[in-house]
Homo-oligomer: A and B are copies of this chain.
Amino acid sequence: MKDCVKMASSTQFTKDLCTPAFTVDLDTVRRNSDAMLDRFLRLGVQLRPHMKTHKTIECADIMTRGSRRCIVVSTLAEASFYADGGYDDILYAYPVTSDKVQRCAELSEKLSLFHVLVDNSLALQELKARPLKQGKVWNVWLKLDCDNGRVGIPHSDPAALQLAKEISEAEGVELTGIYAHCGNTYGCKGEEQIKAIAQETTSSVLQFVEKLKAVGIQDVKSSIGSTPSCSHPVLDMAMLSEVHPGNYVFYDVQQMLIGSCRLEDIAVRVLTRIIGHYPHRNQLLVDCGWAALSHDGGGRLPTGYAIIDGHPDLKLVSMTQEHGRVEPISGKLDFSQFPLGSMLSLLPYHACATAMMHPVYIVHSKGKVVGTWKPTRGW
């Protein structure tokens, strides 16, 4: 791998690059990041970008415009990685469990701001059982389920208000904010549907904050997120304290189909080499299997497991660990157009899943490799 990267850096981008390779277009990343930062600067809402898609310091630096503050992570491995990398004000947006309380406590004591997420009373008891040193308090966000159907207490369930009260009254604990993920935007097609869900989620969260005020719980922040909703925000989102999208820095085919972005906003590819010609089955073989692309999307695109850049007539029909089978959507393949050893460029269905398969990203700008990024992983 080390050798692979060396070659990529020292030679022409598309010819000698060791494949399969996950490539990141730095200019598109910067454009996507700037657009999101500017969008919420205009709305007067703090952007707290999510790191789960890329998990690198370099991309985080772009997403935070160098402030190295105010991020969300999905694993404690990410939290530690960013804390060690000089980041602060980190929200670990995942239900805290007993096996992780001690590490969360250490991060809370080390950083100026470390936030945890809670959606049940047991988790609160576990935090209380490990009081923080140095006079610090646990910064707790209550997770609400605003019809997303994953983590969180349903926003209209009286238990949500009850738990918010428990948190706000607990010793050594502060109810910092209300957190909701509008993951149900992933079922949308187009801006109108996205905005409808963004509106519903925003309203549910803001109404909940009003309910808190009515029972005397003041100064509680509010945050919603998802790349679709933050790519097409509704005006009411200006009343939120924060938003926390993540995928937008790369975007992908899934986001394009939802309507979050255009094809030209997708910053990442898997470059793959043609390793076999098999005319008797009308197929090319490429060196990208699920080990380099992931199975995400299940091959249900008209073009299979990915879009093959510049070849809308080709389909990635199946993959094994290190092999992909490519064939025309219809008709006979002209093999002379696809010489052995030449490259195809795959637009991933889901950038988060594809990035996770790669220990190194090849970063390029204006056709030249300009660096490599190494993500963290694990939990």
What is the interface of chain A, defined by CB distance below 8 A to chain B?
1, 3-4, 7, 16-21, 52, 74-77, 80, 94-95, 97-100, 103, 119-120, 122-123, 145, 149-151, 154, 157, 183, 273, 275-278, 280-281, 285, 287, 290-292, 294-296, 298, 320-323, 325, 340-341, 352-353, 356-360, 376-379
What residues on B are CB-neighbors of A151 within 8 Å? 275-276, 285, 323
B359 and A377: CB pair below 8 A?
A: yes
A287 and B97: CB pair below 8 A?
A: yes
What residues on B are CB-neighbors of A276 within 8 Å? 95, 119-120, 151
Most chain B CB within a 10 A radius of its CB, from A4, A77, A183, A292:
A4
B273 and A378: CB pair below 8 A?
A: no
- Min Cβ gap A162→B in Å is 15
Residue of B nearest to A98 (CB): B341
What residues on B are CB-neighbors of A120 within 8 Å? 276-277, 340
What residues on B are CB-neighbors of A356 within 8 Å? 291, 357
A150 and B325: CB pair below 8 A?
A: yes
What residues on B are CB-neighbors of A97 within 8 Å? 19, 273, 275, 287, 340-341
What residues on B are CB-neighbors of A278 within 8 Å? 145
B296 and A298: CB pair below 8 A?
A: no
Query: Given that A20-B379, A295-B296 are contacting pairs, would A281 and B149 also be in contact in the complex, using a CB cutoff of 8 Å?
Result: yes
What residues on B are CB-neighbors of A98 within 8 Å? 16, 341
B4 and A322: CB pair below 8 A?
A: no
**Measured CA separation A367–B378 after assembly (Å):** 23
**Measured CA separation A99–B13 after assembly (Å):** 12
What residues on B are CB-neighbors of A145 within 8 Å? 278
Q: Name the contact of A322 in the complex, choosing from B3, B74, B298 (C-beta under 8 A).
A: B74
**Measured CA separation A100–B19 after assembly (Å):** 9
**Measured CA separation A149–B320 after assembly (Å):** 12
**Measured CA separation A103–B19 after assembly (Å):** 13
Residue of B nearest to A295 (CB): B295
- Min Cβ gap A327→B in Å is 12
Given A19-B97, A95-B287, A151-B275, 20 more contacts at CB 8 Å? A1-B376, A1-B379, A4-B77, A16-B99, A17-B99, A18-B76, A19-B379, A94-B287, A94-B322, A97-B340, A97-B341, A120-B340, A150-B325, A290-B353, A291-B356, A292-B379, A321-B352, A321-B353, A356-B357, A359-B378
**Measured CA separation A84–B19 after assembly (Å):** 22
- Min Cβ gap A33→B in Å is 20
**Measured CA separation A4–B377 after assembly (Å):** 12
A322 and B290: CB pair below 8 A?
A: no
What residues on B are CB-neighbors of A285 within 8 Å? 95, 150-151
Q: Lowest 6 CB-CB distances: which A-B pairs, in order?
A: A1-B378, A295-B295, A95-B275, A359-B378, A1-B77, A18-B99
**Measured CA separation A34–B119 after assembly (Å):** 48
**Measured CA separation A258–B17 after assembly (Å):** 38
**Measured CA separation A281–B157 after assembly (Å):** 13
**Measured CA separation A239–B120 after assembly (Å):** 63
What residues on B are CB-neighbors of A287 within 8 Å? 94-95, 97
**Measured CA separation A119–B292 after assembly (Å):** 22
Residue of B nearest to A19 (CB): B99
**Measured CA separation A3–B103 after assembly (Å):** 8
**Measured CA separation A99–B323 after assembly (Å):** 16
What residues on B are CB-neighbors of A100 within 8 Å? 18
**Measured CA separation A353–B99 after assembly (Å):** 26
- Min Cβ gap A255→B in Å is 15
What residues on B are CB-neighbors of A77 within 8 Å? 1, 4
